Chains A and B, each alone.
Chain A
Amino acid sequence: MPKMNLSHFEAAFLFSLFASVVMGVVTKRTDRDRLHYGFYTFGCFLLALFGLGWLMYFGHG
């Protein structure tokens, strides 16, 4: 099994991608809504990722 050595950002980005696809597929009732929701959740994941990243950066001083 090949090994993966990802940074925090890369791992969190991959996690966001996979989770958003599944959430988009299972939640809504039309394909259009699913696509929108998938992009929305992915955007929320990224926003939280960058937001928490900067928060930790400033928190450490």
Chain B
Amino acid sequence: MMRGVWLPLLALAALAIAPLAGFSASYEMTLMARAMILAMAAVSLSFLVGGAGLVSLGHAASVGVGAYAVAILDANGFTDAAQVLPVAIGAAAIFALLTGAIAIRTSGVHFIMITLAFGQMAFFTASSLSAYGGDDGYTLYSRTEVAGARLLENRLAFHYICLGLLAASWAVASMLLASRFGRVLRAARENAQRAEAVGFTPYPYRLVGYGIAGAMAGVAGVLLVNATEFVSPAMLSWQRSGELLFMVILGGVGRLWGAILGALVFVGLETWLAELTPHWKMIFGPLLVVSVIALRGGLAGLVAPRHG
């Protein structure tokens, strides 16, 4: 399991050094922050997909719920992290638990579709929030403050907060998967009948896992809205959910750190291609197709192929 793990560690180390090594221009910092935040969301999705076998096509909604919680609190004058963070995480977790309670009753394709449906509901709810910009989105009055300090406005501090939280979410997700709880999730993913025959009902475990992944995505949402000081319904669109899934697959399902690589490569590729041509999606799309068809184990499969 641990082979190839040097690669994501190397990537995190590179991100830690980058601002000190001259990559501190505004657009570089913005780019890295975006990559790290998306990586965090992708790790939480990878926990669901690779760990629990729950392929959600509505994960961006959890990110969006976290982000909108920040926006709504901001509009009402609450900007302190001690208030914002618990509310945003709680909202994302509750959203995941409520929708998961219904979605997890289904499986396979129906699960994919019903998570998509809930994602769309969240998207349209966001569009209906006319007090918070509706379709046009909402611009924050101020970034979230930490103990009264405008810490997040310091680009360097924000960078390391993102990096720290990314590393933390990787660690937390790994810990969860290795725990008793995670063992039941993994067993039920691979062979639900077996898990049931020894006495485990998968449903509550999956639901709790779904809630946890939602909460982690909520944290990513808090950071994302702080990074751009802006949130709009587009953040919750199903295309965003598709991109998150792509990061997970590109990195390699079944290894949490694959999602980190997937997200970094995704953001890097997107940026690089967009500089090349305005029609970069015409290159990106086929790349996606080819990577799915040719790279079965994802990037992680390249550096650490699995046996059997």
A and B together in one complex? no
**Interface residues, chain B, with chain A CB atoms under 8 Å away:** none
**Interface residues, chain A, with chain B CB atoms under 8 Å away:** none
